[in-house]
Amino acid sequence: MAKRKALGRGLSALIPDADKLEPAEGQFFQCPIEEIEPNPYQPRQEFSDSEMKSMVISVREKGILTPLLVSKKEKGYQLIAGERRWRAAQKAGLERVPVVVREASPVESLELALVENIHRKDLNPIEEALAYKKLLEETGVTQDGLSKRLGKDRSAIANLLRLLKLSASIQKDVIDGKLSMGHARVLAGLQSRQEQKTLRDMILRKGLSVRQAEAIARKRKTMTRSNAKRAELDYYMQSLSDNLKRSLGTKVDIKKRGRQGRIVIYFYSDDELDRLLELLT
């Protein structure tokens, strides 16, 4: 049985003059693959080898089933969406790929590529967060405005943006799949990078679930608040001791435990004792 030609290869044979036409916006046509350049605003940066191998096999057998979205440039075209399909088509040896032309600004290119990747669930959390950050910076819209434009819950966008406060090494763990989105959110809620690193190491070493990591994070926050209050109280007691020392002209200690405590006034001679008693009485 003769092998069926892959889709996307033989359209020019059916429509001989198709290649000579200048495609208008919204028009579908078969574009020479070498005339397409990648999207510099592509939010997806990670393309796993296993996924690409699987897609290359599919493209060789069936061609490109969903057209790429491109914009017209002075020379050739620039991808807006469909970079993984374009890469697979190159590796599969296709000479032409189906495209649809659409005029788009750099910001619109980013937005369209982001929407496609979100719908396909192709982005890791860090890539998605970086794309949201760039859109917020480029467009000047609020998180609420961005959520309406993308059809994404505002709290989900806010949670992703918080991940960008994590250290580069922890972000890499998220990208590599060592830490889940849930783990990353727990770590982002800790104040210091050292606290984040300590808990991150514990998660990886002990294989902690998100719920277990949350419990440890809550305990650490409580301890931190307790330490802060203790430090504040120690500072206040020390300031009172210093004030009494200046007033009495001798060493003074104030010790407090709960609501009770004691004040210790030091003297170093009988004359100093008499002086202090006179001041106090």
Annotated catalytic residue: which of 83, 116, 127, 128? 83
Task: Give yes or no for a contact between 126 and 43, defined as CB atoms under 8 angstroms apart.
Answer: no
Question: Within a 10 A sphere around the Cβ of 60, how many other Cβ atoms?
Answer: 15
- Respond yes or no: is residue 34 known to be catalytic: no
CA separation, residue 100 to residues 55, 71, 78 (Å): 21, 8, 11
Measured CA to CA, the distance from residue 213 to residue 6 in angstroms comes to 50
End-to-end CA distance of the chain: 116
Q: Report which DSSP code applies to 67.
A: P
Between 49-62 and 83-92, two packed helices, what is the crossing angle to 10 degrees? 70
Residues annotated catalytic, as ranges: 83
